[in-house]
Structure 1
Amino acid sequence: MKTVAFKMKLKPGKVAEYKKRHDEIWPELAAAIRAAGISDYSIFLDEESLTLFAVQKQSDPDKPKDLPNQEIVRKWWDSMAPLMEVNPDNSPVCSDLLPVFHLA
């Protein structure tokens, strides 16, 4: 099991809607994420900077690489694009975070 962390950025005034959409995550999207071997997935918000910090556990680091090719994922990205910084294909702008400490 590999732990992966990355950050994303919300647009001003979009926190409540971002949280609402994740509270009501589409079952098909959740199933696709789980099928890609992702578990224990959390997203945290730094309200001051509007930076989102995501942490997930991956059973196989190669399996999630197929998620961007899935229609449900692209549909989710399109729906989330008005709320956050995105790339031209509407995927979230993500930056990997390097692990520097872990206490088990």
Structure 2
Amino acid sequence: MQRVSFQLRIRPELVDEYVARHTPVWPEMLAEIAAAGRRNYSLFLGEAGTLYGYYETEDDEAAQAYLAQSEIAARWEAEMAPFFADLEGRPDQAATLLTEVFNLEDQLAASGAAKR
């Protein structure tokens, strides 16, 4: 399982509307995300409109390709694009990926330590 995290920046004046648009997300878009193979997907809002995302997938390249070809995802991303600052391209395809530096389960498994 791959763990993927990314960062985007929402225009500060549009943060409230962005949050409202995700409460809830279109059911057909939720289905496309799941069909792409993304699981345990979360978005976190930080200071000054910084958005952090996280999901797990078996094959991120395949998930990206699936969503890149999806008409539903294209419509959703076109509606979301104006919310983001300093972004060229679709938000789902152009987000800045973050490097994982620590994972508890991986280190516990590597050390042979039992989970408590």
**Is TM more than 0.5 here?**
yes
- For these two proteins, the number of residue pairs brought into alignment is 101
Counterpart secondary structure, 1:8: strand
Counterpart secondary structure, 1:24: coil
More helix by share: 2
Identical amino acids, percent of aligned pairs: 37
One-letter amino acid of the structure 2 residue matched with residue 41 of structure 1: Y
Bigger shift: residues 78-87 or 17-26: 78-87
What is aligned with 2:83?
83
Q: Which runs of 5+ in 2 are unaligned?
A: 106-116
Measure, in 2, the Cα distance between the counterparts of 1:39 and 1:63. 14
Runs of 4+ in 1 over 4 A off after TM superposition: none
TM alignment of 1:25-104, pairs within 5 A: 25-47=25-47, 49-66=48-65, 67-85=67-85, 86-87=87-88, 89=89, 91-92=90-91, 93-104=94-105
Counterpart secondary structure, 2:104: coil
Displacement of 1:62 in angstroms is 3.0
Tell me the TM-score normalised to structure 2 length: 0.79
**1:78-101 Cα deviation digits (max 9, x unpaired):** 1112211332x4x12411100111
Displacement of 1:25 in angstroms is 0.5
Q: Which runs of 5+ in 1 are unaligned?
A: none
Report 1 or 2 for greater relative contact order, CA contacts < 8 Å, sequence distance ≥ 6: 1
